[in-house]
Chain A
Amino acid sequence: MATKFTAKPDELSKIDYKPPKKGWLDTPAEFKEHTFCWGAKGKNLNVVEFPNARDWSPAEEDWKLPENWQEIVLEGIKDRLSKYRSFKLFMDICVRCGACADKCHFFIGGGDPKNMPVLRAELLRSIYRKYFTASGKMLGKIAGARELTLDVLKEIWYYYYQCTECRRCSVFCPYGIDQAEITMVGRELMNLLGLNTDWISGPVANCYMKGNHLGLEPHTIKNSMEFFLDDIETITGIKIKPTFNRKGAEILFVTPSGDLFADPGTYTAMGYLMLFHELGLDYTWSTYASEGGNFGLFTSNEMAKRLNAKIYAEAKRLGVKWIIGGECGHMWRIVNQYMDTWNGPADFLEEPVSPITGTKFENAKSTKMVHIAEFTADLIKNGKLKLDPGRNNHLKVTWHDSCNTARGMGILDEPRYVLRNVCNHFHEMPEDTIREKTFCCGSGTGLNASENMDLRMRGGFPRANAVKYVRDNYGVNMLANICAIDRATLKALMEYWAPDVQVAGLHELVGNALVMTGEKERTQDLRLEPLPEKEAKE
């Protein structure tokens, strides 16, 4: 279809921030190559009964819309105005002060003014004004209102799939206007017309039918885990035997399927396996609830809820007491902000108590779901783990706060505590790029496809730039994080902008440092690469 993405980093980093002369109301979107994802395949939309299922392509003129598409969109807006105060309010109270303008990684990395969060919102607001406010109806363009034409629809589609719903803009807005809330609505509207992207609808269909985004079937999950177990045996001499779908286990463990599938997520999965084995934890994996992440969130609230439902359902079926969740960004935004509301109450579970330390996880009293970084931090604090951080001495580590866990939950210090205990070299990136001000990987919310590399590399530029800074100043060579999307996408980003920096999940580093009972002298890390110091010792 399209040519391979070949732009070089120094071409891409020439960014022109000057907006065009002509006003935005009159400039239709220009669909640039490598900036958008392919349209959804009809068959994937059909699996979950999404409307207007058909094959279509954003690059083509004809989007195969239903006759009454305008009506559908306007009805959709009306419905959502009545359902979400956030949406209604955020349509009305923006003063266009521009404080959010240069906070979005897509604007910083690309310079397209329609990627300023305020203007991205205005694209939809112009429609809202035209059809839902008196001033817009009367004054039209002078009030910033415009007709919902096909061009406008395409523009909204184009730019709402250039937002990773990372919420960075919301941190700086004096009213907390959250473009993520607006983008979600925008995408729901597109969804009403079947204007999904395939990189999202494919995983959604998979997740619905097979339990996880990657479409791993139960036996495949087990098989691929065999490989990790073999590697762990090679490294430690210990044979681990995890269980699947085991009734009566105390704890259900749910993690994104990305951890089971591709490097470097797989190393993180090895870390989980080793940790739980060492603790002798009474836990089980589930092949049905084999996904913590949720691509449904990038289509509609309803779909996200449908996909999320299996976690509690499985916990109930297996009769576990509570749930531990793995390292994942969107999953934790959902667990923290939506899950209990959607699919609770989880009254068939017990309030989580660590069987190892006896710590009650008071902050998970209602959801009964504990983040693995909280769980591990508690173990370390209570001295329950024997750790040899020296095994990570070949790594100079920096920490990437994933947007969703940072700004949609606030898990900032637990992983840092773990990190400081499992490795000896840790350097923070510059202050304005971490914690709540953290930058997105540029590929969240289903933008981690291969056809939109230009967008991804631009969007990830601010993150990569900060990593490059610590690479150049402190020799950092490892970017650690707690998100499966990060592990999948930061790799490509680093290769492009900051070569020599690798990407790891937190529990890979835990796995490296963990001294297991009865293990042999380790000479390799979880990547089966030689541990330099240990080698020297021999």
Chain B
Amino acid sequence: MRILFSFFAVIALVLSAYAGVKIANLQFLFGVVIPYIAIAIFILGFIYRVLKWGSSPVPFRIPTTCGQQESLPWIKQSKIENPSSAAGVVIRMALEVLLFRSLFRNLKTQLKEGRLVYGEAKWLWLAGLAFHWSFLIIFVRHFRLFLQDTPSFIKTIEGLDSFLQVGVPLLYMTDVVLLGAVTYLFLRRVFIPQIKYISLAADYFPLFLILGIAASGVLMRYFYKVHIVGVKELAMGLVSLNPVIPQSIGVIFYIHLFLISILLAYFPLSKLMHMAGVFLSPTRNMVNNSRIARHINPWNYPVHVHTYEEYENDFREKMKKAGIPVEKE
């Protein structure tokens, strides 16, 4: 149900782009207006969400400590997993963001003949990493469309990405990796019962969407060739705020572009914001030095406590009898 809903939602998007361009001839709408709106939603929404999170304080210092604390000088501190300095936090965050450190720790818990065993479980980490990195590389590769002269680093990336030298045009490895990883991420949501149980439409939808984007991109590059000069013209027009609609770019391109627009607009509304959120997570981005340095809670307020005086009033006689010193005789 949740899977089908998401699947048909993406199919509907594809069809509407197809119909819009092929039948209604709304090239300008799909090629210019919607992308502009999508980018605006993405940027403003992204900023809004981050500011909204940022507007709530972090009243307490609550890092999850995944290693030995800073202690006596002869005890070896785990400076990255339990950082007490800013440098440690930077490295911890870099490992988290670039290499998915925490996910790398993943274990699989199994019950075998009454005994619990913990096995390696690196597939999710691997697929996650492969997916995100290939997405990033593909994203960067696309910059050649927005720049008059392709910068050399993009050429280098392209060269590396296609170093297998397969087919014409050359096959990009990241295209294959991305499709494979997304498919894996989707299949685990279908076949692992627990993961299926926790999955919402909001988990399937972005997967189908990205799958749609990747598939349309691949089709366009390797199978239904589109007019690449026209694509570049349109892209350049968009970035220079001087939009033009070149003739005869295939409809598949508009489908690709429309799905990307939807992804951009959907991004700030959804869990995809984990991209920004990971940087803000207090359990990961704080130093564990709250016994060393004072941390202030901005909304701290005085509370009612049971004072020593009240306590002694309750127990004075008993204390005196037991020979425990009191303030007032």
Give the B-binding residues of A (Cβ under 8 A). Answer: 10, 13, 15, 17-19, 23-24, 49, 81-89, 92-99, 101-103, 108, 113, 116, 118-119, 122, 134-135, 139, 142-144, 167, 170-178, 181, 208-211, 217-219, 222-223, 244-247, 287-288, 302, 305-306, 309-310, 313-314, 317, 335-338, 340-342, 344-345, 359, 361-367, 369, 374, 377-378, 381, 406-414, 417, 430, 432-433, 435-437, 461-462, 465-466, 468-469
Contact = CB atoms under 8 A, between A and B. Distances in A.
B248 to A, nearest CB: 38
B61 A245 contact: no
A219 B53 contact: no
A78 to B, nearest CB: 11
Given A108-B109, A176-B284, A432-B107, A93 B100 contact: no
Contact of A142 (B2, B305, B318): B2
B201 A142 contact: yes
B290 interface: yes
Given A209-B314, A363-B70, 6 more contacts: A102-B109, A174-B278, A310-B308, A342-B297, A411-B69, A414-B71
Interface string B185-201: 00000001111111111
Interface of B: 2, 5, 49, 52-62, 64-72, 74-76, 78, 81-82, 84, 96, 100, 102-103, 105-109, 111, 114-116, 118, 124, 128, 192-203, 269-271, 273-274, 277-278, 280-284, 288-297, 299-300, 303-308, 311-312, 314-315, 318-319, 321-325
Does more than half of chain B's interface fall in helix, strand or loop, or is it mixed?
Answer: loop
A350 to B, nearest CB: 15
Contacts of B201: 139, 142-144
A88 B51 CA distance: 12
Given A341-B297, A430-B118, A119 B198 contact: yes
Max chain A Cβ within 10 angstroms of own Cβ: one of B5, B60, B284: B60
22 contacts: A17-B193, A86-B282, A89-B281, A93-B281, A96-B199, A108-B116, A174-B102, A175-B278, A209-B306, A219-B322, A245-B324, A288-B311, A306-B305, A337-B290, A340-B295, A341-B290, A341-B294, A362-B292, A363-B291, A407-B65, A413-B68, A435-B67
A425 B9 CA distance: 63
Contacts of A310: 305-306, 308
Nearest to A463: B116
A99 B308 contact: no
Given A84-B56, A245-B325, A411-B69, A19 B291 contact: no
Contacts of B307: 313
Contacts of B75: 377, 413-414, 417
Contact of B69 (A13, A287, A306, A409): A409
